């Protein structure tokens, strides 16, 4: 899919972490250096203020700063996505407008979920339509059931895919049956990306056009190996890379979360650092576990 910007919404995008300095403030130099490394490895863009970026722990000024700091580093032919989901439609629209004003190419919108039992398809459709109507830049839906505690319905996605300013979605469920239903809504104006590195190859085989993968933050070359081998028709090479990638994704991203991702980044020579409280850094035994996983997968240090 090529959007109105002329860029193809495909490939591997990096949902960047938010590094913090010793005083707890966001560390802009480390943030920029990470982005440069991800793009150098072949990422087709980055997502700031996503789940792996500790979006729930950032204040509004920090969210704005991340877009401002990322924009000069991300070239015009690469994607700069910003997570803007909020619990109110009003807040989500304000965040989308702020991100657009600071240079975001598109915004990723997780569904409101605090009042989960009230989030019917009717409510969610009205929310997403209002955000898409008001947003100066294209909108992507974000499905992450482990945080939302529900999944976007296939019929809802099909309805929203027809909106002129909703250009795609990220599905981080890891459920290929669920993803298959989302891919059924895919077309020239709507694309589906997976957010689960453990099922990346399976998602591509179902028709997903790429992934926004936390595992790519510390295994960028391995993620790109899957992405490049699949369209080349080299199923054996893609499967071998996916097996290694899947272990890293399932055990570090899925098992240890943001603290694990940040530790893995430190261990490959990028800037992870400590997460923001109440999250705690991984323990020594977990760091050793991560080191062993990285070595076994052959994850190289960042150049």
CA–CA dist 143, 216 (Å, integer):
19
Taking each helix axis from N to C end, the angle separating 255-267 and 284-297, rounded to the nearest 10 degrees, works out to 70
Of 197, 196, 211, which is closest to residue 10 (Cα–Cα)?
A: 211
Question: Strand 79-83 relative to strand 106-110: parallel, antiparallel, unpaired?
Answer: parallel
262 catalytic residue (yes or no)? no
Phi-psi label, residue 149: left if phi above 0, alpha if psi -120 to 50, beta otherwise: left
Tokens of 188: 């020239």
- DSSP state, 281? P
> Which residues, 6+ apart, have CB-to-CB distance to 290 below 8 Å?
252, 256, 260, 263, 264, 267, 282
Which member of 7, 146, 170, 283 is catalytic? 170
The rounded Cα 31 to chain-centroid distance in angstroms is 16
Of 153, 155, 128, which is closest to residue 139 (Cα–Cα)?
A: 128
Sign of dihedral through CA atoms 205, 182, 49, 105?
positive
Tokens of 258: 């943001």
Which residue intervals of the chain are DSSP H helices? 28-40, 60-70, 89-101, 121-134, 145-148, 154-160, 176-183, 200-206, 220-229, 235-248, 255-267, 284-297
- Nearest-Å Rg of the Cα atoms of the chain is 18
Phi, psi (5° rounding) for residue 148?
-75, -30
Instruction: Catalogue the active-site residues.
Output: 170
């Amino acid at each position: 899919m090529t959007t109105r910007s002329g860029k193809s919404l495909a490939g591997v995008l990096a949902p960047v972490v938010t590094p913090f300095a010793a005083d707890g403030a966001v560390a802009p130099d480390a943030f920029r250096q990470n982005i440069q490394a991800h793009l150098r490895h072949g990422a087709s863009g980055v997502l700031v203020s996503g789940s792996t970026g500790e979006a729930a722990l950032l204040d509004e000024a920090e969210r704005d700063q991340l877009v401002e700091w990322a924009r000069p580093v991300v070239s015009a032919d690469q994607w700069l996505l910003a997570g803007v989901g909020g619990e109110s439609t009003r807040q989500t629209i304000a965040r989308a407008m702020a991100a657009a004003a600071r240079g975001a190419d598109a915004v990723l919108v997780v569904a409101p979920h605090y009042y989960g039992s009230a989030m019917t398809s009717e409510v969610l459709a009205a929310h997403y339509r209002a955000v898409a109507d008001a947003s100066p830049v294209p909108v992507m839906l974000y499905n992450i059931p482990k945080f939302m505690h529900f999944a976007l319905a296939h019929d809802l996605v099909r309805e929203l895919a027809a909106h002129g300013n909703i250009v795609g979605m990220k599905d981080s469920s890891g459920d290929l049956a669920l993803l298959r239903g989302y891919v059924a809504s895919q077309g020239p104006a709507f694309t589906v990306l997976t957010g689960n590195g453990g099922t990346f190859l399976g998602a591509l085989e179902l028709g997903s056009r790429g992934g926004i993968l936390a595992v790519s933050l510390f295994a960028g070359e391995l993620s790109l190996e899957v992405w490049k081998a699949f369209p080349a028709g080299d199923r054996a090479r893609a499967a071998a890379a996916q097996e290694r990638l899947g272990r890293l994704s399932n055990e570090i991203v899925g098992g240890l979360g943001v603290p694990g991702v940040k530790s893995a980044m430190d261990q490959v020579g990028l800037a992870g650092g400590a997460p923001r409280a109440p999250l705690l850094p991984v323990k020594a035994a977990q760091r050793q576990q991560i080191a062993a996983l990285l070595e076994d997968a052959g994850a190289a240090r960042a150049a």
